[in-house]
Amino acid sequence: MPSLRGGPCSASPACRAPVSHTTDCARHCQTLMPTNPPTIHWTHQGQPQQALWRSESGASAPRRVEGADDTLAADTAYRMACEGTGLLWQGDFQNARHLLQALMRRADKKPRKAAAKASQKLAAATAAEAFHLHRQAQAQRARVLASVLIPLEGDYSIALRRAPDWRQACTEAWGPATGERSVATLRELLGLVGAHEWRKKGVEIPALGAPPLNRIHPHYGVFSPVRGEYVGLVAAAPLPSKALAFDIGVGTGVLSAVLARRGVQRVVATDQDPRALACARENLQRLQLLDRVELQQADLFPPGRAPLVVCNPPWVPARANSPIEHAVYDEGSRMLKGFLAGLSAHLEPGGEGWLILSDLAEHLGLRPREHLLAWIAEAGLVVRGRHDVKPVHAKAADAQDALHAARAAEVTSLWRLTAA
């Protein structure tokens, strides 16, 4: 039975979009993926120019591109950005950063009438409508801020005054340089650098024990376990067995590492994203646990059965706008439903499936609790127990956050499921 989640497209190595069946891959790529790598075009001193276009979200290159430098006024730049014009930076690099900050201030400061109208619309909205309005506003803001473009040389260097050396960060995200010039948004480059710093520093995970072997180093494009409450649930729940466990959607490898540290003799961990598998392998090697964890590229379950199957699917049933968002958004709850539907066939008699899930979607009006309970029952499963924890991240206490009411009420749970 094919997974409801859908695997990565196999017709094109560059395509990571999920498709329902492997036979759909060729059609998927023909309709959604360009035959050649995307390019961006502009004119410099009357001569046509082009370069590779880099966008992790898959956003198209701006159709209109203008050269920009230190003489460009922020108000003019904001107007051009709102019109969809790309600003290919040719001045001092640090001034490009200043311009981006100026665009942020203007994007966040709406005219008084527009702000009042937006507040009225938000006040009258349901929780689900408020969520979608919030995402629409985020997307619109992101489009404006993506207008500042940075040219990259064939080795990922930036040939602008006072430009930093970000070649290592680019290599970690995009692979070895090919010698071809490219262009990326300044925001995307700042994201690469942020991910590079997190990869160097790592995230301390108390459930993994004392330093120094208690840090997880997330790679670019792999969800970071900065919200640690769900890790604590896995560290504290009673183990049904220490012989074998499956970790579905391994990500950084943090849950596999916690299970191994708790004494589980063998863990088989799966993921469909090569980036996640490489990240997990590196982390488990650093933690000296790789000999007890087997990594497999698979959509959901590995072959066979286990006394413990753990899954931490994306928590919000909405469409992801970029590959990194697939760790947060699960359109139509496909991975969640796929895990529940296939769990019984992969549990040993008396075994448990641990579903780690926030109820944020319930407070946002996106998925009622009744739907989750119905899917559990339809899959021939029963709830043996549930362990809850309240989030402690900053947004849960931020009254100015657009989704504050839902975040403040959020509870993350570990559902202990077993075959009926």
Calculate mean pLDDT across residues 264-271.
Answer: 98
Whole-number pLDDT of residue 32: 41
pLDDT over threshold 50, residue 5: no
Q: How confident is the model at residue 35 (pLDDT cuts 50, 70, 90)?
A: low
Whole-number pLDDT of residue 227: 83
Higher pLDDT, 95 or 397: 95
**Could you give the dihedral angle defined by the CA atoms of residues 351, 259, 280 and 58, in that order, rounded to the nearest 10 degrees?**
60
**Cβ atoms 364, 127 nearer than 8 A:** yes
Mean pLDDT for the chain? 89
Residues 6+ apart with CB under 8 A from 280: 250, 251, 252, 253, 256, 269, 271, 293, 295
Calculate mean pLDDT across residues 108-115.
Answer: 79
The type of residue at 79 is R
Whole-number pLDDT of residue 28: 38
The type of residue at 222 is V
Percent of the residues in the chain that have a pLDDT greater than 90, as a whole number: 75
Calculate mean pLDDT across residues 96-121.
Answer: 86
Q: Name the token pair of 275.
A: 């980036």
Whole-number pLDDT of residue 110: 77
Superfamily of domain 204-419: Vaccinia Virus protein VP39 (3.40.50.150)
Q: How far apart are CA 29 and CA 33, in angstroms?
A: 5
Name the range with the highest mean pLDDT among 21-30, 106-115, 117-126, 341-350: 341-350
Q: Which of 4-8, 115-119, 241-245 has the lowest mean pLDDT?
A: 4-8
pTM listed for this prediction: 0.86
Closest CA to 408 of 420, 398, 419: 398
Whole-number pLDDT of residue 33: 42
pLDDT over threshold 70, residue 9: no
Q: How far apart are CA 52 and CA 398, in angstroms?
A: 40
pLDDT over threshold 90, residue 228: no
Other C-beta atoms within 10 Å of 102: how many?
Answer: 15
DSSP conformation letters of 143-211:
HHHTTEEEEE-TTS---STT----HHHHHHHH-S--S--EEEEHHHHHHHHHHHHHHHH-EE-GGG-ST
231-240 confidence digits (pLDDT tens) = 999 999 999 9
322-357 confidence digits (pLDDT tens) = 777 888 899 999 999 999 999 999 999 999 999 999
pLDDT over threshold 80, residue 291: yes
Whole-number pLDDT of residue 326: 80
Is the peptide bond prior to 212 cis by the omega test (within 30 degrees of 0)? yes
Whole-number pLDDT of residue 3: 33
Q: How confident is the model at residue 13 (pLDDT cuts 50, 70, 90)?
A: very low
Q: Name the token pair of 242.
A: 């220490």
Whole-number pLDDT of residue 6: 36
The type of residue at 48 is P
Domain ranges of the chain: 39-198, 204-419
pLDDT over threshold 70, residue 191: yes
Q: How far apart are CA 295 and CA 284, in angstroms?
A: 10
Higher pLDDT, 406 or 248: 248
Q: How far apart are CA 173 and CA 56, in angstroms?
A: 9
Whole-number pLDDT of residue 340: 98
Q: How far apart are CA 198 and CA 371, in angstroms?
A: 37
